Amino acid sequence: MDYAKAYRSGDITPSLVAERFIAAIDESTKPSLQMGFFIHYSVDDILRQAAESTHRYRRGEPISVLDGVLVAIKDEIDCLPYPTTGGTTWLHKERPCNDDACCVKRLRLCGAILVGKTNMHELGSGTSGINPHYGPARNPYDSSKIAGGSSSGSASLVSAGLCPVTLGVDGGGSVRMPASLCGVVGLKPTFARIPHDGVLPLNWTVGMVGILAGTVEDALIVYAAISGEIPYQQIFSVLTHINLPRLSLTKSISDIKLAKYGKVRVLLRATNICIMILKSLEIG
């Protein structure tokens, strides 16, 4: 990530980035823009995390390539000190947020600066991103247009260049659709690759924690940080091993093997055989 390189060089600090970010968010709430990025964010909490990250870099002890990187969280995922509203005005009163979601804990362990809870379509039940309580999350390419949904604020923040990476939740396209409308990368992982603990169970059989990012490489880095089963789940697991980058500050990810071509050839061969069989069964 470019942030890690800049922090290591001393050209900028996480605190300086956080200050500029807060100023930009403040600007985005003015009547002339009203971008609607967030439901909740805390200036004090952002500055505290940034100061801690800045001290780590000054000591030469950054935790990972994500240390000091700004990451926003869809308001469907638990992230202290914020309530989890799911885009409503009442849900957090019935289901208080008492702990971070598993994926959020993993980001904290990497030193990421968690900047708040992003706007979303109410209860994730739509694709426009227009929220009747918190207003619409607007498209940075044209603020008169929608950002898409339901992970609207998450996509809009990345598209605006304010966060390199954000988290969303995708059941039927809620990461991928706003990503396409806002011109960013949107990833919905395979079921159970990223633990669902601490995520609202709105559609948990198909709704997966997903990633929105400015580049595929940034999405891969965050995926490497937050994926992996919780130990108690491993006894039920049928997931195969995948190769992911380690989050060091020096190694390139260019040599990471993401697939085995041999298996692809086998699948193609099997597909061709099935097609031949189907054609042979056709009634002239």
Q: Could you say which of 15, 28, 53, 74 is catalytic?
A: 74
From CA 162, how far away is CA 143, in angstroms rounded?
15
Nearest to 85 by CA among 147, 21, 38: 38
CA atoms within 13 Å, Cβ hemisphere of 283: 0
Q: Which residue in the block uniquely carries the two structure tokens 């990497």? A: 110
64 belongs to the catalytic site: no
Let me know if 240 is exposed, middle or buried by CB neighbors in 10 A (0-12, 13-18, 19+): exposed
**Cα–chain center distance at 45:** 19
Catalytic residue from among 53, 159, 174, 227: 174
Q: Which of these is catalytic: 15, 64, 150, 159?
A: 150
150 annotated active-site? yes
d(CA 145, CA 141): 8
Alpha-carbon dihedral 24, 120, 186, 30, rounded to 10 degrees: -20
| Whether 74 is catalytic | yes
**What are the catalytic residues?**
74, 150, 174
